Amino acid sequence: MIHSRSKPIIQSHRFLLYHFRTRIDSRECHTFGPKKPRTKSKQEQHHRTTQKQCKSTPFLEDVKKVQDPEEALSLFHEYHRSGFRHDYPSYASLVYKLAKCRDFDAVETVIGYIQDYNIRCRETLFIALIQHYGKAQLVNKAIELFHRMPSFDCFRTLQSLNSLLNVLVDNDRFLDAKEIFDRSDEMGFRLNSISFNILIKGLLEKDKYEEACNLFDEMLEREVQPSVVTYNSLIGFLCRKGDVDKAKGLLEDMIKKGKYPNAVTYALLMEGLCSIGEYKEAKKVMFDMEYRGCKPTVVNFGVLISDLGKRGKIEEAQSLLSEMKKRRFKPDVVIYNILVNYLCKEGRVAEAYKVLTEMQIRGCQPNAATYRMMVDGFCLSGDFEGGLKVLTAMLSSKHCPRLETFCCLVSGLMKYGKIDDACFVLEEMEKRKMRVDLNAWETLVRDNCGDEAASKLLTELISVIQ
């Protein structure tokens, strides 16, 4: 049945222009100057605890409540001007806050204060910063900070070195990692299994299995004992390549050498078997592992449920979930997400929503992935009101959808004349500073306003930019 859309088109025209203007205005009016300092009511209150407890200060309590990095830095300076003497906990909490917000220019400024005032820092602060630099792909900054650590009168341990190696490998800087790894002795570090595991991981990611095996042999030559993680890396690689027989041989070798496999080891082997169509054999491995002294976990059940979902055997997957509960294994969010994912992919969104409800009743909180899959599932099935319902729950749980999900929901709500709901979604996007680019706006306008109205609206939008 075709409905008249003249009213929605006019409303769409108005609300798209309004939100686009808001976007332009907010972009042009944004200022980066210092914000007005917050007034403090607790500044004179300073509770002293015993030496064994962490000292609590008004600054630490206040900075925890601040979300904006500029405001946190302003608060720091305000306390300093009032005569408050910042110590290591103050500097550390501020650095953590700024690094988490990825305001690394401000981080460098605070680090400069630390050096100027000769504040003695713990190694954990620098390790956290190295990791934050790695996540932001500022690898050279991480390397520089590692080499600067002694200038802060901070003793570097192997934990710092391993953190840097991990950042380098994760950012595809394997040659730099290998160079530092080879120079570890002259820097005064004695490598451990974690150091070797990081480089083995890097080699396997580049499909260099033979080189990884050579590094494994070097481990033994240096009398560094391989850990379960070492074996898991190699077994996992072989299973992903479909060489399950070789992986089984490595598992047996591992046991002979006195290293006992864990649930992850068996899960990797099970994944390998499932990948070559040996589901029954994988299930047998899960039930046999207990006889080898390793109790199955939800990870092992997850492998089987995921394989059933991939092959469209949802009923069998649900049956295995029931069996899991009978054996008193409590499903976690990952298990539920597997079912939600495959139910949504098959268009069985109502059933997926029941799974979402069940997990909440059983005390398992959905995560961002759960909500995203559900919102996307409702959108794909054309139930945009259902998608909005889940989105509202998602936002109240402090999770956020992807930009594509927001756009799909806005477009669908507009198409069915739900302009107020579409405005609500756009406002939520604006709160989270999620911007729609011009190409997306053009598609949104054309899909919902028709060619003639779209041309007129796009002309107005362009005039706003100019």
Where is pLDDT greater, at 265 or 60? 265
User: Is domain 331-429 annotated with CATH 3.30.930.10?
Assistant: no
Distance of CA 129 to the CA centre of its chain: 17
Q: How far apart are CA 296 and CA 324, in angstroms?
A: 10
Mean pLDDT, to the nearest integer, of 178-184? 95
The pLDDT of residue 461: 46
Least confident of 9-23, 154-168, 365-379: 9-23
Place of tokens 């609500």: 424
The pair of three-digit structure tokens given for residue 135, joined into one six-digit string:
């996540």
E strands within 415-459?
A: none
The pLDDT of residue 54: 44
Q: How far apart are CA 326 and CA 187, in angstroms?
A: 55
Q: How far apart are CA 361 and CA 328, in angstroms?
A: 17
Q: How confident is the model at residue 44 (pLDDT cuts 50, 70, 90)?
A: very low
DSSP-assigned states of every residue in 109-142? HHHHHHHHTT----HHHHHHHHHHHHHTT-HHHH
Tally of CB atoms within 10 A around 387: 27
Mean pLDDT, to the nearest integer, of 69-87? 85
Closest CA to 410 of 5, 19, 2: 19
The pair of three-digit structure tokens given for residue 238, joined into one six-digit string:
């072989």
CB distance 333 to 367 below 8 Å: yes
Q: How far apart are CA 463 and CA 368, in angstroms?
A: 38
Mean pLDDT of the chain: 84
Tally of CB atoms within 10 A around 349: 24
CB distance 100 to 132 below 8 Å: yes
Tell me the range of 21-35, 250-264, 421-435 where mean pLDDT is highest: 250-264
Could you give the maximum distance between any two Cα atoms of the chain, in Å?
Answer: 79
| CA terminus-to-terminus distance, the chain | 41
Tally of CB atoms within 10 A around 357: 11
DSSP-assigned states of every residue in 285-298? HHHHGGGGT----H
pLDDT tens-digit series, residues 330-356: 999 999 999 999 999 999 999 999 999
Q: How far apart are CA 333 and CA 408, in angstroms?
A: 25
The structure's pTM equals 0.77
- % residues pLDDT > 70 (the chain): 81
The residue ranges of every structural domain in the chain are: 331-429
Distance of CA 142 to the CA centre of its chain: 20
Distance of CA 354 to the CA centre of its chain: 26
Handedness of CA 405, 406, 408, 412 (dihedral sign): positive
| 277 CB-near residues (< 8 Å, 6+ apart) | none
Place of tokens 């994912």: 341
Q: How confident is the model at residue 2 (pLDDT cuts 50, 70, 90)?
A: very low
Closest CA to 343 of 322, 315, 365: 315
